[in-house]
């Protein structure tokens, strides 16, 4: 098959769902990964198909290596992977450092860091021109929390995203000569259900008043940046951390 394929982890809701819909509009065959939200993932697939696009949903827990490997193997049947977005992530609870538990950090880092690194490994194995691939584009989902320390009592989340930034910079050096462009996006306060943990949209809209642009961002505003990084319009952008944060 010669169709261009994009795989998005955590594509059933929020930012990932908007990336999926935008990518389908640009002609990608979109593979939407999710863990628990089968109905939501199918809803995104249905929206894409009714607009004339192509997509499929594949369940896999991206905090588990065997499930990540299966996800990529399943994805292979749809064509060669041109773009990969490592988007799946969680906040991992809200509590002061004195109440942090090992189990909490284990779960958080398994998805936000180890799962992201293992899924990126699978993408690089398929894309690398030095391994027989055709090259490709990878976007890692970080957060402005990586440089600000994040929201109060969510420093574990900030630490996990800082690990993503370090991984990005090293990976760019490793794969730049292998036909792969890799970049990271650092969203600020974006209106998705990830914020249900600390009161939902109503609460973050109040925080939005303190953002230099005076408002929170929308998932489509992050998706547009990701899709630009996957396009030829960003052909010399590599190893970059792009803030989508209204100046925050």
Shortest reach from residue 212's CB to ligand NAP, in Å: 16
Q: Which is nearer to ligand NAP, 53 or 115 (CB)?
A: 115
Structure tokens that stand for 194 in this block: 């990830």
**49 vs 119: CA distance, rounded Å:** 26
Q: Which is nearer to ligand NAP, 36 or 206 (CB)?
A: 36
SS3 assignment, position 59: strand
Shortest reach from residue 179's CB to ligand NAP, in Å: 26
Residues near ligand NAP (CB under 6 A), total: 29
Write the DSSP symbol of residue 190: B
Q: Which is nearer to ligand NAP, 61 or 65 (CB)?
A: 61
**63 vs 111: CA distance, rounded Å:** 4
Q: Which is nearer to ligand NAP, 81 or 226 (CB)?
A: 226
**175 vs 39: CA distance, rounded Å:** 36
Structure tokens that stand for 105 in this block: 């950090």
Residue-wise DSSP of 97-114: GGG--HHHHHHHHIIIII
Q: Which one of 9, 120, 128, 183 is in contact with ligand NAP (CB under 6 A)? A: 9
Q: Which one of 6, 15, 114, 242 is in contact with ligand NAP (CB under 6 A)? A: 15
Q: Which one of 48, 57, 83, 88 is in contact with ligand NAP (CB under 6 A)? A: 88
Q: Which stretch binds ligand NAP (CB under 6 A): 7-15, 50-58, 117-125, 235-243?
A: 7-15
Q: Which stretch binds ligand NAP (CB under 6 A): 49-57, 61-69, 129-137, 230-238?
A: 61-69
For the segment 111-170, give every residue that binds ligand NAP (CB under 6 A).
111, 141, 143
User: Per DSSP, which regions of the chain are E strands?
Assistant: 5-8, 29-34, 54-59, 81-86, 136-141, 180-187, 241-244
Write the DSSP symbol of residue 114: I
**52 vs 42: CA distance, rounded Å:** 15
Determine which helix (DSSP H) or strand (DSSP E) holds 128, and give its type and residue range.
none
Q: Which is nearer to ligand NAP, 90 or 240 (CB)?
A: 90
**Active-site residue 78, yes or no?**
no
For the segment 179-238, give every residue that binds ligand NAP (CB under 6 A).
187, 189-190, 192-194
Q: Which one of 5, 6, 7, 10 is in contact with ligand NAP (CB under 6 A)? A: 10
Catalytic hit among 28, 34, 78, 157: 157
Q: Say if CB 242 and CB 183 are below 8 A apart.
A: yes
**143 vs 78: CA distance, rounded Å:** 30
**163 vs 113: CA distance, rounded Å:** 7
Residues with catalytic roles? 157
Q: Which residues bind ligand NAP (CB under 6 A)?
A: 9-16, 33-37, 61-63, 87-90, 111, 141, 143, 187, 189-190, 192-194
């Amino acid at each position: 098959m010669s169709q261009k394929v994009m795989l998005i982890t955590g594509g059933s809701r929020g930012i990932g769902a908007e990336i999926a819909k935008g990518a389908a509009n640009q002609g990608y065959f979109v593979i939407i990964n999710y863990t628990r939200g089968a109905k939501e993932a199918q809803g995104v697939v249905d929206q894409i198909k009714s607009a004339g696009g192509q997509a499929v949903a594949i369940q896999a827990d991206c905090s588990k290596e065997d499930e990540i490997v299966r996800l990529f193997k399943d994805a292979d049947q749809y064509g060669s992977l041109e773009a990969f977005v490592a988007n799946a992530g969680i906040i991992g609870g809200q509590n002061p450092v004195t109440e942090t538990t090992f189990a909490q950090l284990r779960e958080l880092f398994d998805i936000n860091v180890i799962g992201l690194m293992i899924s990126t490994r699978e993408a690089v194995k398929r894309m690398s021109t030095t391994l027989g691939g055709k090259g490709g584009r990878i976007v890692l989902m970080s957060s402005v929390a990586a440089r600000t320390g994040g929201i109060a009592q969510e420093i574990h989340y900030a630490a996990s995203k800082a690990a993503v930034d370090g991984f990005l910079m090293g990976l760019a050096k490793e794969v730049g000569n292998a036909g792969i462009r890799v970049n990271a996006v650092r969203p600020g306060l974006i209106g998705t259900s990830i914020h249900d943990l600390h009161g939902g949209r109503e609460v973050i809209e109040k925080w939005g008043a303190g953002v230099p642009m005076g408002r929170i961002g929308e998932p489509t505003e992050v998706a547009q940046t990701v899709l630009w990084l996957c396009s030829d319009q960003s052909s010399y952008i590599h190893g970059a951390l792009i803030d989508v944060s209204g100046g925050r």
